[in-house]
Amino acid sequence: MGVDASAVAASGQDLVALPDFTPIVKQFGPAVVNISTTETKVARGAASPFPPNSPLNQFFAPFFGGPGGGAPGAGGQDQKYQVQSLGSGFIVSPDGYIVTAAHVVKGAQKIIVSLTNHQQYVAQLVGLSTRIDVALLKIDASNLPTVHLGDSGKLDVGQWVLAVGAPFGFENSVTQGVISAVARPLPDDPYIPFIQTDVPINPGNSGGPLFNMRGEVVGINDQIYTNSGGYMGLSFSIPINIAMDAVKQLKLHQKVHFGWLGVMIQDVSMDLAKSFHMKEPVGALISQVVPDGPAAKAGLRPGDVIVSFDGHAIYNSSELPPLVGSLPAGFVAKLGVIRDGKPMAVKVTVASLPNDMDGMTAPATAQVQKGEIKRLNIQVGALTPEAKQQLHVNTGVLVLGAGVGPAVEAGIRPGDVILQVAQQTITSVTELQKLVAGLPAGQPVPVLIRRGEGSFYLVITLPH
């Protein structure tokens, strides 16, 4: 027997049962705030293209930063201008503490917080962490409505979530969707396992809360994937557990701590797995070890593959940084490592991420010894002492030129420094020539290179 739609409509009942977000908005919407900031920036003035005595200067000088409407002549002048931006946030305590995204308030000279009751307050920045992209503000108020905090560690793909914020300045806008993925790393934020959703997020939503169906904040809306500047179906939120750990430290005016191993890592491709005698392409491949860092002290070295960390299986390299970053300094972690195709266990004492990591620059191009590696069709030269010092390396040869061949097909290019071939350290051009001459054909060979500030592995397969 069918359902009489007209009768259901007359009774006031819904034909289809869908999530109703009204209770969440009514109860916790007042705890969501709008944030506007003012920042003074400096633009370098351009010189007028006309001679100083040209009558055209009176028309064009305002566009080139001339004083008093006059042209600056041969040189431009710096011009100060104000930039205003909008974002969102949420109140976490009745006495006026507010959480938002760091990029919403970073560099701002003035921060204005607006509540849903139209009250406005000048906020003070308590502290921020650009690495986690979270900031803590304080306004002089009391008895404020607050949100309830949830547990982002209990989220599952497919759960409904709700975002409240000010997209494009439209205050207190509500959008909804589902969780598309959890623990999603992004290239520029390796320490954050983002919550990925299909909730429409746009500029102005940044810093606002992501609610679950219990009305608990489980994330801070932070980024979108876009080619146009607007929403394209992918939104990313900072898990509230990670954000609030940082907030606790900011409230105490402490430096936000991140656990640190002192390694650079990359994914293990199928070719790399074969070259390292692994059965499957899993784990985080160590491509660089910081001297005197925790990993170096534990005996880890380039070519080791971390397949487990403190009981957590590591299937790809992006899973490792959030696990390490969440640990306190001094924590002894047990690592499962594959070295030369054989499993081994290593204990590493986690340290705190240094404020300033030593930068590594490209090496100088002067060489004492040069040579050609015919099987690879590349020209290489020995590194000067100055180049080694810049790169913080003691070995390696510089690629001077590369023609069509196995090296170019693998991704090697001029300016790269070859550190290892087949897990053998390269100390001279002659050594590299001899090593490559003896490599078997048709088998993948790992090659460790340094490019710019980082090191990583490539795979070369020599033709028969």
Higher pLDDT, 188 or 315: 315
**Domain annotation covers residue 45:** no
* CATH number for the domain harbouring residue 436: 2.30.42.10
Listed residues 288, 317, 352: the one ending a domain: 352
Is pLDDT at 69 greater than 70 in this prediction? Answer: no
**Total domains present in the chain:** 3
Residue 374: inside a domain, yes or no?
yes
- The pLDDT score that the predictor gives to residue 170 is 87
Among the residue ranges 72-81, 174-183, 187-196, 333-342, the one predicted with the least confidence is 72-81
Q: Which of 48, 103, 189, 271 is catalytic?
A: 103
Is 206 an active-site residue?
Answer: yes
> Are residues 306 and 279 part of one domain?
yes
Instruction: State the average pLDDT over residues 59-66.
Output: 50
Q: Are residue 279 and residue 191 in the same domain, yes or no?
A: no
Whole-number mean pLDDT of the chain? 83
Residue type, 232: M
Q: What is the 3-state secondary structure (H, E, C) of 38-90?
A: EEEEEEECCCCCCCCCCCCHHHHHHHHCCHHHCCCCCCCCEEEEEEEEEEEEE
Residue 362 CB neighbour total at 10 angstroms: 16
What amino acid occupies position 55?
A: P
| Inside any domain, residue 65 | no
Q: Is there a single domain that holds both residue 152 and residue 247?
A: yes
336 pLDDT higher than 70: yes
Where in the sequence is the domain holding 426, given as residue range(s)?
A: 370-461
The DSSP secondary-structure symbol of 118 reads S
Pairwise CA distance, residues 54 & 66, whole Å? 14
Selected residue with higher pLDDT from 182 and 394: 182
Residues 6+ apart with CB under 8 A from 228: none
- Please report the sign of the dihedral spanned by the C-alpha atoms of residue 414, residue 419, residue 421, residue 422: negative
Percent of the chain with pLDDT over 90: 42
Higher pLDDT, 91 or 85: 91
What the block records as the tokens of 121 is 């307050």
- Give the residue, 365 or 379, on which the prediction is more confident: 379
Residues 272 and 303 in one domain: yes
Give the residue-averaged pLDDT of 120-136. Answer: 92
pLDDT at res. 189: 75
What does the pLDDT read at residue 68?
Answer: 44
CA 421 – CA 412 distance, rounded (Å): 13
Comparison of pLDDT for 300 and 257, the residue scoring more = 300
Q: Is 463 helix (H, G, I), strand (E, B) or coil?
A: coil
Residue 252 has pLDDT above 70, yes or no: yes
152 band by pLDDT with thresholds 50, 70 and 90 = very high
Inform me whether the pLDDT recorded for 379 exceeds 80.
yes
pLDDT at 313: 93
- Give, for 162, the enclosing helix (H) or strand (E): strand 160-165
Our answer to whether residue 464 is catalytic in this structure is: no
Q: Is the whole-model pTM more than 0.75?
A: no
Looking at 221, 251, 281, the residue that finishes a domain is 251
Residue 293, CA distances (Å) to 195, 299, 389 in order: 31, 10, 18
**C-alpha distance across the termini of the chain, in Å:** 74
Is 107 a member of any domain? no
Q: Is residue 303 part of a domain?
A: yes
Are 462 and 405 within 8 A, CB to CB? no
Q: Which of 48, 88, 206, 275 is catalytic?
A: 206
- Is 317 a domain residue? yes
Q: Could you tell me which residues come within 8 angstroms of residue 385 by beta carbon, excluding any fewer than 6 positions away?
A: none
State which amino acid sits at residue 430. T
**pLDDT at residue 392 is higher than 90:** no
Average pLDDT over residues 206-215: 95
For residues 247 and 263, membership in a common domain is answered with: no
68 within some domain:
no
Of 217, 251, 285, at which residue does a domain stop?
A: 251
Q: Tell me, what's the pLDDT at 383?
A: 81
- In this structure, of 12-21, 391-400, 406-415, the range with the lowest mean pLDDT score is 12-21
Cα(66)–Cα(72) distance, rounded to whole angstroms?
A: 4
Poorest-pLDDT segment among 45-59, 93-107, 379-393: 45-59
pLDDT of residue 107: 85
Name which of 125-129, 213-217, 222-226, 360-364 the model is least confident about: 360-364
Q: 20: which DSSP letter?
A: -
Q: Higher-confidence residue: 156 or 231?
A: 156
Residue 383 is given by DSSP the state P
Q: What is the pLDDT of residue 131?
A: 86
Task: Name the amino acid, one letter, at 78.
Answer: D
Name residue 337's beta-bridge partners: 306, 344
Nearest one of 442, 386, 444, 387 to 419, comparing CA atoms: 387
Confidence bin at 455 (pLDDT 50/70/90): confident
Predicted confidence at residue 73, as pLDDT, reads 44
In the predicted model, is pLDDT for residue 144 greater than 90? yes
Q: Is residue 117 part of a domain?
A: no
Residues 152 and 197 reside in one and the same domain: yes
Same domain flag for 222 and 267: no
Q: What is the pLDDT of residue 19?
A: 83
Residues 223 and 300 in one domain: no
Q: Considering only CA atoms, which of 187, 188, 190, 247 is closest in space to residue 217?
A: 247
Is the pLDDT confidence value at 42 over 80? no
The pairing of strands 424-425 and 263-267 is unpaired
Active site residue 118: no
pLDDT for 358 equals 31
Q: Examine the domain organization and report whether 164 and 207 are in the same domain.
A: yes
pLDDT average, residue stretch 105-110: 88
Predicted pLDDT at 359: 29
Catalytic residue chosen out of the listed positions 36, 133, 416, 455: 133
Q: Over the range 308-320, which residues count as b (16 or more CB within 10 Å of their CB) and which as e?
A: bbeeeebbebbbb
Contact present, 134 and 220 (Cβ < 8 Å): yes
Residue 357 pLDDT greater than 50, yes or no? no
Please, are residues 431 and 438 in contact by the beta-carbon 8 Å criterion?
A: no
CATH code of 197's domain: 2.40.10.10
Which structure tokens are listed for 413?
């290019």
177 plus 199 within the same structural domain: yes
Res 181: pLDDT: 92
- Residue 337 and residue 374 share a domain: no
Band of the pLDDT at 327, cuts 50, 70, 90? confident
Q: Which one, of 100, 356, 390, 364, lies nearest residue 237 by Cα?
A: 100
pLDDT tens for each residue of 437-447: 888 888 899 99
Task: Judge if 232 and 289 occupy the same domain.
Answer: no
